[in-house]
Amino acid sequence: MRIVIVGQGPFAEKVLEALTQKGEEIVGVFTLPDKRGDPVAALGQKLGIPVFRPKSMKDPEVNDLYIKINPDLVILAFVTDIIPEKLLTIPTFGTICYHPSLLPRHRGASGIHWAIIQGDQRTGLTIFWADRGIDTGPILLQKEVKIKPEDTTGSLYFNTLFPMGVEAIVEAVDLIKEGKAQRIPQDESKATYEPPCDDRVAQIDFTQPLLEIYNLIRGCDPQPGAFAFFKGMKVRFYEARMIPQHTEIPPGEVVSIGEEGLMISAHGGLIQVRKMRAEKWEKMEAIEFAKHVGLKVGDRIDKE
């Protein structure tokens, strides 16, 4: 089966590596036009696989290349570009896509972030057949995992959904080759779609309930980094934990600063953060950050 991989970064690289180790015929790799290089491009070139770096998958040249390559299957492995509908009709078996949520829940670019931010207890990944919609195509297979209370978007992805996703794509290819691949329509009544998790949604309001603040911080860790303000400076918070307890201290007030991190009051308890970052500095231990900016016990962390 002639396979084309469209993707970028370490995830696409590992998908390419796993499929070639199984002896699959990879006839092309499409990735970003990044002059600094991309790991999947480097691996493709090393393996002697044609690598293409169009400015956009919408470019007419991509359509021509697809027709020339004549793929049986296209795999979307971490794709941020929009794939035109006409490209989906070219592969003999179609196009499959990896998505890090249990579709139809959490469609969109930030499925892991929103699962944590919204307090989901479980999430997973979906391999689905791409269609003209955004994450709307029929489901080929799904894998479910528990979200641990201490998970961040980073830990959940890199420790679980990344390696599981590579394995799921390999499994999906086997099912397609065996003629056993399902096409289960998504239940639109259960569909949710959230916007990209960026600074438009990452601002902390310490007057909100403790659990909501905690989920926002870990859902935005490592990117974009949930933030609030100290004396007009945008400050981002990482490696948080929550300490439920009764407190009379006003929300947003710094309660303590020590080797274990910085404690901030919230409704229903305290938020502890171990690392912090401002725009002009790298991420650092909270105690060091406090020294850099003159942050003291009793100071307030505000919405703006």
CATH code where residue 236 lies: 3.10.25.10
For residues 216 and 186, membership in a common domain is answered with: no
For residues 152 and 223, membership in a common domain is answered with: no
Residue 46 lies in a domain: yes
For residues 106 and 161, membership in a common domain is answered with: yes
For residues 95 and 152, membership in a common domain is answered with: yes
Residue 59 lies in a domain: yes
For residues 118 and 217, membership in a common domain is answered with: no
For residues 22 and 170, membership in a common domain is answered with: yes
Residue 303 lies in a domain: no
Residue 146 lies in a domain: yes
For residues 106 and 238, membership in a common domain is answered with: no
Number of domains in the chain: 2
Domain range for 56: 2-190
Residue 34 lies in a domain: yes
For residues 50 and 147, membership in a common domain is answered with: yes
For 111-167, write each residue's pLDDT tens digit.
999 999 999 999 999 999 999 999 999 999 999 999 999 999 999 999 999 999 999
For residues 174 and 234, membership in a common domain is answered with: no
For 29-60, write each residue's pLDDT tens digit.
999 887 667 899 999 999 999 999 999 999 99
- Structural domain ending residue among the three candidates 161, 190, 219: 190
- Token code pair at residue 211: 């659990």
Residue 55 lies in a domain: yes
For residues 65 and 120, membership in a common domain is answered with: yes
pLDDT tens string for the chain (304 positions)? Answer: 999 999 999 999 999 999 999 999 999 999 988 766 789 999 999 999 999 999 999 999 999 999 999 999 999 999 988 899 999 999 999 999 999 999 999 999 999 999 999 999 999 999 999 999 999 999 999 999 999 999 999 999 999 999 999 999 999 999 999 999 999 999 999 999 999 999 999 999 999 999 999 999 999 999 999 999 999 999 999 999 999 999 999 999 999 999 999 999 999 999 999 999 998 899 999 999 999 999 999 999 998 7
Residue 230 lies in a domain: yes
Residue 298 lies in a domain: no
Instruction: Tell me the whole-structure pTM to 2 decimals.
Output: 0.96
For residues 168 and 254, membership in a common domain is answered with: no
For residues 237 and 175, membership in a common domain is answered with: no
